[in-house]
Amino acid sequence: MAIEDTICTLMTELGLGQVAALITPVSGGFLHRMYKVETDVGVYAVKHLNPEIMKRPSVMENYSRAELLEKKIEAAGIPIVPSLERNGKKMQMCGDDFFYIFCWLDGRITDWDNITPEQCEEAGRIQGKIHAIEPKEIPHAEPSGSEIDWASYTKDAESKKSAIADILRENEDLLIYATESMNDARRALPDIECITDEDMDPKNVMWKDGNPYVIDLECLDYGNPANSALQLALQWAGVTTCSLDFRKMDAFFEGYREAWDGLPGNADGEEDTSGHSAFDAYEEIFGVAYTWVEWLEYNVIRALGQCQDDEDRKLGESEVRNTIERIRYIYEREDEIKAHLFKLCDVSKSTAYSRFDVDDS
């Protein structure tokens, strides 16, 4: 059955009306496929979850946790587009396919090349509010390192005469360095846990009448706020397009600190007894910026044939090239970014500052 027919059946079964117009694909993320669906009842965005992702052993547990956290951040008044609940559940199944359904929001995603400092500040503020919902200090535990065998992937790509073979071979040393840096940084993260949305980059925030709405909340989980804040600050500042603007990064952190200062006790107005902020030394955990290697590994795997179809394989190949370019960009500017982070943290410890007071060189 064609996916359009499946969606028609799904909408009828859920009481969301008869499809009244052509179902059209819309641009979305790089994992799942999104469709605009107009019925005689309303207009909806229907997300068809990637069948390959749905084969993972822990996928249902992860989605169930994300759904519960979505309800928590919605209850906290954070502007989101939540998935609809029908028959007591959010995730819907029709045949062998899984879906999330949303009310259609007539907004827009900011062009990556035209993100403003003001939007970065608002994004930081939203992320800070999410982190402030229920932060807690946790016992120290050594994180499990990410063991990615880049040499093995290169060998496999070469044996399959894959289009990604050359770029993997040429960048193998860089990828080993990035993976080791990421693992080292994770060991240095503060012992704090909170609700995080690791996927709240610019493509997952829609703007309507100047107001932001967070979408694609399936990655909600419990995680480390320092890790999340640093990665998202860099993405909003332009790392994703290899066009980093320090002024935008400063704006993100200004909004973030306004919403939450990183002290677990302060989220509920309690006196903090930890004696430090979670974010006194961003430059020391810089290696989490290389978490792109995990997205790269996923795309290497689907570029090598573990994917839903040829379109998905080609998307994997494209993302391999794009992601390696980002990793190299971060590597080439690593010293500069660390120096700026050190300065940013030093200034924030001594005085309240404006993003326009920080040198963006």
pLDDT at site 279: 55
Pick the CATH number of 109-357 from 1.10.600, 3.90.1200, 1.10.10, 3.30.2000: 3.90.1200
3-104: CATH class: alpha beta
- Which positions ≥6 away from 250 have C-beta within 8 Å? 117, 344, 355, 358, 360
Domain boundaries, the chain: 3-104, 109-357
pLDDT at 272: 44
| Global pTM value | 0.88
Q: What is the pLDDT of residue 280?
A: 59
List per-block mean pLDDT (blocks of 10 residues) for the chain, which spans 361 residues.
92 96 83 92 95 91 96 97 96 95 93 93 97 94 91 97 98 98 94 94 94 95 95 96 96 94 56 44 88 96 91 94 98 95 69 38 37
Which tokens in the block code for residue 127?
């992320």
User: How many other C-beta atoms are found inside a 10 Å radius of the C-beta of residue 134?
Assistant: 16
CA 98, CA 218: separation in Å to the nearest integer?
A: 13
Question: Is the separation of the CB atoms in 198 and 214 below 8 Å?
Answer: no
| Pairwise CA distance, residues 266 & 110, whole Å | 32
Give the pLDDT confidence score for residue 264 in this predicted structure: 62
